[in-house]
Amino acid sequence: MESKPPVLLTGPHYWDGDFACAEGAIAAGCRFLAGYPITPSTEVAERIAERFPLVGGTFIQMEDELASMAAVLGAAWAGARAMTVTSGPGFSLMQENIGLGVMTETPCVVVDVQRGGPSTGLPTLTGQQDMMQARWGSHGDYEIIALSPSSPQECFDLIITSFNLSEKYRVPVMFMMDECVGHMTERVVVPALSSIKVRHRRWYRGARDKYHPYVPAKDGVPPIVKAGDDYRFHITGLTHDQRGYPVINAECQHQCVSRLVGKIKDNTDRIVILEEDRTEDAEVVVVSYGISYRVATRAIDLARQQGIKVGSLRLVTVWPFPERRIIELAKKVKCLVMPEINMGQVFLEMERCASCFCRTRLVPHCGGWVHDPNDILKAILKGVKS
Amino acid sequence: MKRLDVTLGQDLRHPLEEYLRMDRIPHVWCPGCGIGTTLNAFLTAVKKSGIPRKDIAVVSGIGCSGRAAGYVKLDSFHTTHGRAIPFATGLKLANPKLTVVVFAGDGDLLAIGGNHLIHAARRNMDINIICINNFNYAMTGGQFSPTTPEKARLTTAPYGSYEHPFNVPFLVDSCGATYVARWTALHVRRLTNSILEALHHPGFSFIEVISSCPTVYARRNRLGTGLDLLKFYRDNSVIKNGANTRECDIRFQEQLIVGKFVDQEKPTYHDTMTEYLSQSVGKRYVPYQGPMQGKEEDGN
Ligand SMILES: Cc1ncc(C[n+]2csc(CCOP(=O)(O)OP(=O)(O)O)c2C)c(N)n1
Ligand code: SF4
């Protein structure tokens, strides 16, 4: 018998971030992707279209991003690990159904390879301008999880983490890449299948006739079932009770929304992934994420060469925001500096947490390219004087 | 367990009780509304079809019609306005064994969701659409919709609508739907049969149900009660099976051409995809293995 191609291409490769993201999704067990082409994310879908027929996945190019997101939710409820991939304009179109995903607690992943906006903006050039849209893009109150990779290797590794978090917390996870990371080609090492940890879905294990879709476990997250297994359940985007039935009143709204928010908020410390470097003696800490983290590292090195005590806090998860750690650092440093390829988005959260305790400095950038490390260095120098 | 009314000696169980969420009854629909009748026809067809209840999923959009998903004791999804078809597409592709039914309104399917409708038809996606056409957006209080006949009055067309409505069977037919029928809420038996055929039909099926909306559409247009609307359907429907869909336009309070218009065999999206890929990818092709099985080791 001819051997089937391996699911995982274990070994070293020279891949761009988009390819690595696609391969990481396959490694995470993703077998359904619905998408609509958009620069600079298209290569993810292209890679998936090529690879899925070899690994037992279904790819469909939908008619738009509204459809893509809806199809992902449908596939997830049929029991598939599902994702979609897009960039700014498509991300905007997905928002209503991301909200449905939040409300119905549907595990799935949304990849946004960010480009400069607003509107069609800079289709081929980088930006980090969808960070607040990831957080608040759909209407209503909710909490979300968002990760931001800084390299093609992390596009592979962290998309797996994203799927795992989406399963654990039953929430759509936003994978916030950017054009730079998506199109940069670097060494990516795919580990052996056995060393990849994939979290299973939180399948309901109780009696069939006792199943209610929204009875939470201790951590606030309800176990799940899938269509076709004779639970004959109902889910709705309307405010609902534990049976999943619509109940249109303030009490039910309170219960429903406070649990949706609480299951993320109360587990923030478990969800948050941070990387810290040289913060022990730091007078200034540069807080950054995604591609900006790598530029910040250069600025930090330059500052250290001048004898300035500066450290780095990298947000691997951007949402939920790591309030606790920011406050701790703010209490011991003179200044927190944040470079972002936007006019100040995640910075607002940092400022909210830190401004009682230390100074904060934004290094904005309108998009189209990454920061000049010297601009970050200048902010560090100003910060250390304050 | 049978509940017996001792005084009357009658079995008071609803004949479709096993298909209904009895704990959600009474429903929201108005007296004289055609949606309940259509739901009844649908569930009767489901019962007759012999398809196990666990294998049927219902997806609804938003609207009076969209509430249907909430009353059926089947896997049921009340999604967002206009997106029932793509949600159903994901559901079907991720578990091809399911029979997937979309139950939604004319506004949902033809206005906000129109793009999805034409593409699902083009793909011959194996899903079944039941379209409640009550000629208006009822849930939001009676605005005109893409099917509102010219001259009919609605809240956002207070002097009568001057837009050209869709000829719905013609639209879906020309996009590639492989089963197309239209009935009214009066034609319960024929409607039930059509739904039954559609459930067994491989590929994209579309059933338009001209449905009475006494509360909004009829009141605005002084057309009387639900019963008056049914009488109108009786007196003005012309059954023309196999009619050219191009000739199925609906004009305000004029004749209604109903019947089964299209019933043809064509490979479904899923069949085309798997056949094509197994030819072009060859032995290396690994078809989709179905959804995760609900076991601990689900993963890669
Ligand atoms: C995105 C969005 N836009 C608008 C609405 C408001 N809305 C709810 S139902 C509806 C129209 C329903 O009309 P139709 O689909 O014909 O169903 P009917 O109520 O007539 O059965 C509208 C516009 C919504 N829920 N979502
Ligand atoms: S408003 Fe019209 S469509 Fe809605 S339930 Fe009442 S009669 Fe039916």
Q: Each residue of B16-60: pLDDT tens digit?
A: 999 999 999 999 999 999 999 999 999 999 999 999 999 999 999
The pLDDT score that the predictor gives to residue B300 is 40
What is the position in ligand 1's atom list of the atom closest to the CA of B108? 15
Written as one letter, the residue type at B184 is: T
DSSP letter for B290, please: -
Tens-place pLDDT, residues A116-143: 999 999 999 999 999 999 999 999 999 9
pLDDT category, A6, cuts 50, 70, 90? confident
The boundaries of the domain holding residue B92 are 17-289
Tens-place pLDDT, residues A173-187: 999 999 999 999 999
A118: domain CATH number?
A: 3.40.50.970
Would A41 be classed as within a structural domain?
A: yes
B79·A234 Cβ contact <8 A: no
Would A360 be classed as within a structural domain?
A: yes
Secondary structure class of B156 (helix, strand, coil):
coil
The pLDDT score that the predictor gives to residue A1 is 38
Tens-place pLDDT, residues A193-208: 999 999 999 999 999 9
The pLDDT score that the predictor gives to residue B12 is 81
Would B12 be classed as within a structural domain?
A: no
User: In the predicted model, is pLDDT for residue B241 greater than 80?
Assistant: yes
Query: So what's the ipTM on this one?
Result: 0.97
Q: Report the domain count for chain B.
A: 1
Pocket test for ligand 2, best of B134, B145, B229 (most atoms within 8 A of CB): B134
Instruction: Note whether A43 and A186 are same-domain residues.
Output: yes
Distance B245 CA to ligand 1 centre (A): 27
Percentage of chain A exceeding pLDDT 90: 97
Would B295 be classed as within a structural domain?
A: no
Average pLDDT, chain B: 95
User: In the predicted model, is pLDDT for residue B2 greater than 60?
Assistant: no
Instruction: Note whether A183 and A54 are same-domain residues.
Output: yes
- Over residues A262-286, mean pLDDT: 98
A286: domain CATH number?
A: 3.40.50.920
Would B297 be classed as within a structural domain?
A: no
Distance A109 CA to ligand 1 centre (A): 28
Tens-place pLDDT, residues A302-346: 999 999 999 999 999 999 999 999 999 999 999 999 999 999 999
- Over residues B234-260, mean pLDDT: 98
User: In the predicted model, is pLDDT for residue A276 greater than 90?
Assistant: yes
The pLDDT score that the predictor gives to residue A386 is 74
B54·A232 Cβ contact <8 A: yes
What is the position in ligand 2's atom list of the atom closest to the CA of B132? 3
Q: How far is the alpha carbon of B51 from chain A, nearest alpha carbon, in Å?
A: 12
Q: Report the domain count for chain A.
A: 2
Q: Are B85 and B120 in contact (CB under 8 A)?
A: yes
Would B2 be classed as within a structural domain?
A: no
User: In the predicted model, is pLDDT for residue B96 greater than 50?
Assistant: yes
- Over residues B155-159, mean pLDDT: 98
Instruction: Note whether A183 and A34 are same-domain residues.
Output: yes
Distance B29 CA to ligand 1 centre (A): 15
Tens-place pLDDT, residues A203-252: 999 999 999 999 999 999 999 999 999 999 999 999 999 999 999 999 99
Name every protein residue with a CB atom under 6 angstroms from any ligand 2 atom. Answer: B 29-30, 33, 35, 64, 134, 138, 213-216
Q: How far is the alpha carbon of B73 from chain A, nearest alpha carbon, in Å?
A: 6
Q: Which residue has the higher pLDDT, A5 or B212?
A: B212
- Over residues A280-302, mean pLDDT: 98
Detail the DSSP E strand segments found in chain B: 4-5, 10-11, 56-60, 75-78, 99-105, 128-133, 136-137, 143-144, 179-184, 205-210, 237-239, 256-263
Written as six digits, the tokens of B54 are 């666990």
The boundaries of the domain holding residue A160 are 11-195
Would B264 be classed as within a structural domain?
A: yes
User: In the predicted model, is pLDDT for residue B294 greater than 80?
Assistant: no
Would B7 be classed as within a structural domain?
A: no
Secondary structure element (H or E) that encloses residue B187, with its range:
none
Tens-place pLDDT, residues B207-219: 999 999 999 999 9
Cross-strand bridge partners of residue B257 = B238
Would B4 be classed as within a structural domain?
A: no
Instruction: Note whether A185 and A283 are same-domain residues.
Output: no
- Which of B77, B119, B281 is nearest residue A63 as measured by Cβ atoms? B119
- Over residues A92-99, mean pLDDT: 98
Residue where a domain stops, chosen among A179, A195, A211: A195
Residue where a domain stops, chosen among A180, A195, A210: A195
- Over residues A99-113, mean pLDDT: 98
The pLDDT score that the predictor gives to residue A349 is 98
- Distances from the Cα of B63 to the Cα of B66, B102, B104, angstroms: 5, 13, 7
Written as six digits, the tokens of A12 are 């070293």
User: In the predicted model, is pLDDT for residue B200 greater than 50?
Assistant: yes
Q: Are A261 and A142 in contact (CB under 8 A)?
A: yes
Contacts of A64 in chain B (CB under 8 A): 115
Instruction: Note whether A157 and A306 are same-domain residues.
Output: no
Would A250 be classed as within a structural domain?
A: no
User: In the predicted model, is pLDDT for residue B295 greater than 80?
Assistant: no
The pLDDT score that the predictor gives to residue B5 is 53
B94: domain CATH number?
A: 3.40.50.970
The pLDDT score that the predictor gives to residue A2 is 41
Residue where a domain stops, chosen among A195, A224, A252: A195
